[in-house]
Structure 1
Amino acid sequence: MIYNAMKHSLGASLKVAFRPWVEGMENIPEEGPAILASNHLSFSDSFFLPAVLERRVTFIAKAEYFTTPGVKGRLTAAFFKGVGQLPVDRSGGRGAGEAAIKSGVDVLARGELFGIYPEGTRSPDGRLYRGKPGGLARVALGSGAPVIPVAMIDTEKIQPPGKAVPKLMRPGIRIGKPLDFSRYEGMEGDRFILRALTDEVMYEIMKLSGQEYVDIYATAAKRQLAEAAKAEAAKNGRAKAA
């Protein structure tokens, strides 16, 4: 009930304010489990996609969003619960990853939609990065659910990382045809199969989004950018001191 109320109020507000366009809505099944595998450009991706869908979709969210103390923390927790976010502690290494996979399989076992970002984190520069096979592929093979590739368009321009106030402009959502990976049933322990499945999904996302593909993980790209920025700042500091 809370989800439906939040979805209708938030969804209506987002549609009126931003007027998102959607292609491929017919690829979302009317019932039954499915995995929505999307690129990740902005914090707002997890709001725009649920807003345009008739069915509930559950995403994994950092546990900190649900445990922050104070009034703001309680409001944030209520908001994320209301829009169907599922808290998972991602600080515990492999154990945290296993918890996220189990949560996804449980959602799908109930016949619901599960949303996941194969890149594992937001793109630092608008390009599409290599998908992590440990999440998407294992949830897909563990549940047997079809994978539906999704491309978020221009959401990074609405709310870039670090910007609290969104810019009013139209984002887009392209939804691809469901991918069936039943041919890999029982092979979730094979890392080459996990890699192949993930790469196939990322290729479909790339075709839908039109993004440039970079064959490294987004976390590594963020680290490289941070190191470059730090080196540049040190260089400028030395130049000022000279």
Structure 2
Amino acid sequence: MFFSLLKHVLLGPLLRIVFRPKATGTVPDGAAILASNHLSFCDSLFLPLMAPRKVVFIGKEEYFIGAGLKGRLIAAFFRGVGTIPVDRRGGSDAADALDTALRVLGQGRLFGIYPEGTRSPDGRLYRGKTGVARLALASGAPVVPCALIGTDRVQPMGHRMPKRIARVEVRFGEPLRFAEDADPRAVTDEIIAAIQKLSGQEYVDVYAASVKNGDRARP
């Protein structure tokens, strides 16, 4: 109910008027994984806005544990739109989040994921983590590659609020399906290549988190 209120009454109409987002391509019926590039915090606003059905995401745990009124409001927002917290350090919490994602897909719903694992530090497309592949292989759901265009101009890295008005585009690619015994690394690379084809971004074969941590050489 909260998601529908945000999308159709409160936030969605405002975003449509101000940023004039458009979508190209289609999303299949039933369970599907939306695998997108990740340029900006506001990606998680525009992708659900332009998707034909509700999208459930995994979000970093920090969004849910902030202090004070602001922290509680942020946590309430992410819970309200169906975001699942995950501890990105790994361990049982991450496994629980993936199990939840499998349940979402088992219900015939849309699950959104950013294969890079974090926002791009410079607008380029980085190596994908294999979680998206493991989810696709375990669920049998098709992967729809997605490209967000312009969100980094709206809200660049390091900005808490939108910086400028720029048109946003969401491109949905052709669904990808994989054999159950496919190699997760190869599947992930194929998904990233499909995202790159849609987005036109330069590809960098390192993890974005490594670049943020100053370790540019890590594969």
Q: Secondary structure at the match of 1:224?
A: coil
TM-score (norm 1): 0.84
> Which residue is 1:103 aligned to?
100
Task: Give the alignment of 1:193-232 within 5 angstroms.
Answer: 193-224=183-214
Matched pairs, number: 214
Structure that is richer in helix per residue: 1
Report if aligned partners of 1:12, 1:51 keep a CA contact under 8 Å in 2: no
Report if aligned partners of 1:7, 1:83 keep a CA contact under 8 Å in 2: no
Q: 1:159 aligns with which of 148, 155, 160?
A: 155
Percent identical among aligned pairs is: 56
Q: Secondary structure at the match of 1:98?
A: helix
> Which residue is 2:30 aligned to?
32
Cα distance change, pair 90–174 in 1 and its aligned pair in 2 (3 A): same
Q: How far off its partner does 1:221 sit?
A: 1.6
> Which residue is 1:232 aligned to?
none
Q: 1:42 aligns with which of 33, 40, 43?
A: 40
Q: What does the per-residue CA deviation read over 1:102-133, in whole Å, with 9 as the maximum and x for residues that have no partner? A: 12111101110000000011110100011111
> Which residue is 2:61 aligned to?
63
TM-score (norm 2): 0.92
> Which residue is 1:238 aligned to?
none
Q: Secondary structure at the match of 1:111?
A: coil
Report if aligned partners of 2:143, 2:176 keep a CA contact under 8 Å in 1: yes
Runs ≥4 in structure 1, deviation > 4 angstroms?
A: none
Structure 2, unmatched stretches of 5+, are none
> Which residue is 2:20 aligned to?
19
Q: How far off its partner does 1:225 sit?
A: 7.5
Which is greater in Rg? 1
Report if aligned partners of 1:10, 1:51 keep a CA contact under 8 Å in 2: no
Report if aligned partners of 1:3, 1:81 keep a CA contact under 8 Å in 2: no
Q: Distance in 2 between matches of 1:96 and 1:144?
A: 23
Report if aligned partners of 1:47, 1:83 keep a CA contact under 8 Å in 2: no
Q: Distance in 1 between matches of 2:73 and 2:201?
A: 35
Q: Secondary structure at the match of 2:214?
A: helix
Q: Secondary structure at the match of 1:50?
A: helix
Q: Distance in 1 between matches of 2:215 and 2:60?
A: 23
> Which residue is 2:132 aligned to?
136
Q: Distance in 1 between matches of 2:34 and 2:115?
A: 10
CA-atom RMSD in angstroms: 1.6
